[in-house]
Amino acid sequence: MGDTRGDLEEIEVLLARYGNRLDRSDHSGWVDLFTTDGRFEVYGRSFEGPEGLLRMAESAPGGLHLTSAALIEIDGDSATVEQSFLFVDQVSHESRIGWYDDQLVRTSEGWRFQVRRSTFLTPDGPSDRP
Instruction: Work out whether 82 is an interface residue with another protein (CB under 8 A).
Output: yes
Binding residue for another protein (CB under 8 A) from 25, 36, 90, 122?
Answer: 122
Nearer to another protein by Cβ, of 3 and 58: the residue is: 3
- Specify the stretch interacting with another protein by CB under 8 A; choose among 32-40, 45-53, 80-88, 107-115: 80-88
Q: How far apart are CA 47 and CA 45, in angstroms?
A: 7
Instruction: Work out whether 8 is an interface residue with another protein (CB under 8 A).
Output: yes
Helix (H) or strand (E) holding 57: helix 49-59
Contact 80, 103 (CB under 8 A): yes
Q: How far apart are CA 72 and CA 80, in angstroms?
A: 6
Binding residue for another protein (CB under 8 A) from 68, 76, 77, 110?
Answer: 68
